[in-house]
Amino acid sequence: MPQGLFANSPKNFFFTGKGGVGKTTISAATAIALADSGKRVLLVSTDPASNLDEVLDLPLSAEPIPVPGVAGLFASNVDPVEAAAAYREKMVGPYRGVLPEAALRSMEEQLSGACTVEIAAFNEFATLMGDPETADRFDHIVFDTAPTGHTLRLLSLPAAWDDFIDTNVGGTSCLGPLAGLKTQHQLYENTRRSLGDATQTLVVVVSRPDVVPLAEAARASAELQKLGVTNQHLVINGVLQLTDASDAVAVTLRDRSMKALAEIPQALTLLPQTELPLRGTELVGVPALRGFFSQDSSVPSTRSGAKATPLPASLGTLLNTLESMSGGVIMTMGKGGVGKTTQAVNIAKALAARGKNVHLTTTDPAAHVALTLGETPEGMQISCVDPEAETEAYRNEVLATAGADLDGDALALMEEDLRSPCTAEIAVFRAFAKIVDQGTDRFVVVDTAPTGHTLLLLDASESYHREVSRSLSDIPEAVRQLLPRLKDPAYTKVFLVTLPERTPVHEALALQADLRRAEIEPAGWIINQSLAPLQVTDPILDQRRAREFRYIDEVICEGLPTFLIPWQDEPTKDR
Amino acid sequence: MKIEIYDPAMCCSTGVCGPSVDPELVRMQEVLRQIEKQAAKVKVDRFGLSSAPQAFVANSVVADLLKNEGPECLPLVFIDREMVAKGKYPSNEQLQAIMKRERIDVAFGKKNKAGSCCCGTDCC
C-alpha cells in the first residue's frame, strides 16, 4: 500500500479526475485497504455514470450495505440523476391533480437541468459528511468523485444566501434548485468547511500518464486550491512497465507516457505523488482490488490473438458514405481524451482530398489542429472556437446590455451568476450555432458539440420564452435554427467517439441517451485507438487487447453503424 | 403595501441562465431590489412556479388562471391583492404610479457611475 497516500489518513477521501482514469478502482482499493487495517469505512459513489457496482461486483443502492469479504466496509451508490429525480418528485408530486398538467410539465422541465443534478449530488456529500449520525458510524468515508468547483462556489456565495434567499427578494438568484433546499444552509456550510480542512479531508487527483488527462487534473487541482481545498495528492495511474522491448506498440506507448510525465503541468509537481502500474486485467471484485496496491504487475500472457469477433468496418467505409452527400454538418462527440479532434481532422482531410468544400472547426488551439493536419489542403477552411474567449465575450456582452443600468451590487451579483457553467455552455452554444449555419452549402466538421444539457435548455427555452411572452430578448436566428437542423439526420451526422474500454463506452452510451432525449439520433459510433486489429506481444497490452472485444461488442449491439480505428503512434489531440 | 409576483418556472430570476438574457427579468429584479431598499414598508414576495408551487395553489386567483389559461398567464403580479399585470411584468412607471397613490416615492435611477461610491459591497 503506497505510504504517501495513506499517511495521516484524514476522515474523508475524495477522488477526482477525468472519466476513464481509474477513479472508481482506486477509491475501491483504498477503501478496502483502510478496512483491512481495522477501520470502519464507507465507500460511496456519486458519479452519474458510476461503475462501482461493476467494480465491487455487488448490486448497490443509495442505502449503504456491507461488502462481503471485507470486515468493516460498507458501500453505497448514489445516482445523482436519480437523486435529482427524487428531489424533482418531492417538489412536483404533491401538486399532481392540484396544479394543471401544463404547469406541472413546466416545473419538471425546469427541474431537469444539470444544476439540479449537481446540487443533488452535493446534497448527498453534505448529508454524509455533515450528518453526525453517519459521521459517527465510520472512521473514514471514501467518495468516488469530488464536488465540482462550480458547486462549491455556488454554496459559498454569501451575497446570494444572505441578501437574496434570506430576504426572499429577487427570489432565487442563480441558485436554481438550491432555493428548495435553503434549510440545508448550515449543513452545506459545515461540509464546505471540512472540505477545506486538511486534517479532515484529502482530495486525490487521479490521472493517466497522458497529456490531456494531466492537463485536466491540473485544472481540477487549481480550481479546488482556489476554493480552499488544499490537501491534495496526485496519483498517476497506468504507467506501462516495459517488459518486452520487441513490442513496437509497447515501446511507443511507454515513450509517450514518459514524455507526458516529463512535461507534467507545473501545478501538479507541487503535490505529493504516487505512481501506479498499468494493468492488463480488469480489476473487478474484492480479491483483485486487494492486490491493486501491490507493486507486482506481472501477468501471464493469455495469447489472445485468435479472437474471432468480426471487427467493425474501417473509417474508409464511413468516408465513402459521407462523400455521396452534398454538404451538411458532421460532429464527433464524446468525452475528452477519446480522440474527437483527431477523428474530426481525419474526416475533414479525407473529404477535402475527395474534392469537397470543407470547414473544420474545433475547440482545440489552432496550433494543435495545424499540427495534426499538416498543411491545410485546398478547399479546406479551419476555424477555432475558444470556449474561454467565447465565454468572456458573451459575459461582456450581457454585462454591457442587460447589465447596463445596474449599479455596483446588482452588477456584482449578475457577474457572479455569469460565472455559472451555464454561461460557458450558452456562449459556446451560440458560437456553435453560427458555424452549423454554414452547413447549407458545404461540409462543416465540428468537434465541439453542445452537451445534451444545452440542447434541452434550448428546447425548454422555446416554451420558456412563450411564457414570458412579452419578453424583449431575441434569440439569434442561427440559434433558433440550430435544434431543428441538429434533429435533421439529412443535415447533421453525429458520431460518438469512444475508446474500447469500460468507462468511455459507458459514458458515450449516456451521451447517446442525452442526444436521444433532445431528439438527435446519432449517425454512428467510432471506436478509436483499438489494439484489437494489431499484433502485440507485451503481456499486459495483450491482455488489454483481449478485453477490448467485450466493449467493441457492446457498441456493435447498439445497432448503429460502427467504425473502428487501430491504435496509432500519435497521441490524441483532444482538449 | 404588499407586492406579490408569481413567476413562470425558470432557472433563475435574474434570467442570465437562458439562451439569451431577458432584459425584462434583469429590470424586474433590480426594480424590486430598489423598492425594498427605498420603501421599508413595502413587502415583496416573489414565487417561482418550480421552487414555490404551494403559493400558486394557495392564491385562488392564480390557481384559477393557471387552470384556465395554462402557464402562459405567468407572470402574474399583485399589489395588495389586486392584479396589476398578467403575462408580463409591470413597467417602472406603472409601479411608481401605484405606489404614489399610497404616498410612497421610489426612484428607479440609472446606475451610479463607477468610482462615485461603489468601492465596497454595502455603500450603495
Write out the DSSP string of A163-207: IIITTTTTTTGGGGGGGGGGGGHHHHHHHHHHHT-TTTEEEEEEE
Cis peptide before A504 (omega within 30 of 0): no
Query: Could you tell me the pTM of the whole model?
Result: 0.76
C-alpha A408: how far from chain center:
36
Residues of A in contact with B64 (CB under 8 A): none
* DSSP character string of A228-280: T---EEEEEEEEPP---TT-HHHHHHHHHHHHHHHT--HHHHTS-EEEEE--S
Give dist(CA B70, CA A512) in Å, integer: 33
pLDDT at residue number B17: 57
pLDDT at residue number A463: 46
Q: pLDDT confidence of B16, banded at 50, 70, 90?
A: low
Within an 8 Å CB–CB cutoff, is residue B32 touching chain A?
yes
Q: What percent of chain B is helix, strand and coil (3-state, nearest 5)?
A: 35, 15, 45
Within an 8 Å CB–CB cutoff, is residue B12 touching chain A?
yes
Among chain A residues, CA nearest to B42: A169
Within an 8 Å CB–CB cutoff, is residue A110 touching chain B?
yes
Give dist(CA A253, CA A424) in Å, integer: 35
Within an 8 Å CB–CB cutoff, is residue B58 touching chain A?
no
Torsion of CA A275, A279, A285, A291, to 10 degrees: -60
Residues of B in contact with A474 (CB under 8 A): 20
Give dist(CA A226, CA A223) in Å, integer: 5
Residues of A in contact with B69 (CB under 8 A): none
Give dist(CA A568, CA A345) in Å, integer: 15
Each residue's pLDDT tens digit in chain A (575 positions)? 566 677 778 999 999 988 788 899 999 999 999 999 999 999 999 877 778 998 999 999 888 999 999 999 999 998 877 888 887 888 888 889 888 998 898 888 777 766 667 777 777 888 888 777 777 899 999 999 888 776 776 666 543 444 444 443 333 444 444 554 555 667 777 888 888 999 999 999 999 998 888 988 998 999 899 888 999 999 999 999 998 889 999 999 999 999 999 999 999 999 999 999 998 877 888 988 998 887 554 555 455 444 546 889 988 899 998 988 888 999 998 876 788 888 898 899 999 999 999 999 887 655 566 666 777 788 888 888 887 888 888 888 888 877 777 777 777 777 777 776 667 777 877 788 888 888 888 999 988 666 655 666 566 555 444 434 334 456 677 777 787 888 899 999 999 999 998 888 988 898 898 788 778 899 999 999 999 999 899 999 999 999 899 999 999 999 999 999 999 865 444 43
Are A180 and B36 an interchain contact pair (Cβ–Cβ within 8 Å)? no
Is A134 exposed, middle or buried (CB count within 10 Å of its CB: 0-12, 13-18, 19+)? middle
pLDDT at residue number A8: 75
Q: Where are the domains of chain A?
A: 12-160+181-290, 325-386+434-566
Q: Which residues are A194's β-sheet partners? A: none
Query: Per-residue pLDDT for B104 more than 50?
Result: yes
Q: pLDDT confidence of B116, banded at 50, 70, 90?
A: very low
pLDDT at residue number A161: 43
Residues of A in contact with B9 (CB under 8 A): 103, 106-107, 109-111, 464, 467
Is A515 exposed, middle or buried (CB count within 10 Å of its CB: 0-12, 13-18, 19+)? buried
pLDDT at residue number A482: 80
pLDDT at residue number A377: 81
A337, HSE (Cβ side, Cα atoms, 13 Å): 22
pLDDT at residue number A575: 38
Give dist(CA B14, CA A88) in Å, integer: 22
Domains A12-160+181-290 and A325-386+434-566 share a fold: yes
Q: Is A149 helix (H, G, I), strand (E, B) or coil?
A: helix
Q: Where are the domains of chain B?
A: 2-102
| Cell reading at A91 | 417538489
pLDDT at residue number A475: 66
CATH 3.90.1300.10, applies to A12-160+181-290: no
pLDDT at residue number A30: 95
Q: CATH number of A325-386+434-566: 3.30.499.10, 3.40.50.2000, 3.40.50.300, 3.30.420.10?
A: 3.40.50.300
Within an 8 Å CB–CB cutoff, is residue B64 touching chain A?
no
pLDDT at residue number A518: 77
Within an 8 Å CB–CB cutoff, is residue B61 touching chain A?
no
pLDDT at residue number B113: 37
| Cell reading at A170 | 429577487
Are B11 and A113 an interchain contact pair (Cβ–Cβ within 8 Å)? yes
Give the residue with greater pLDDT, A443 vs B18: A443
Q: CATH number of B2-102: 3.30.160.20, 3.40.30.10, 3.40.190.10, 3.90.1300.10?
A: 3.40.30.10
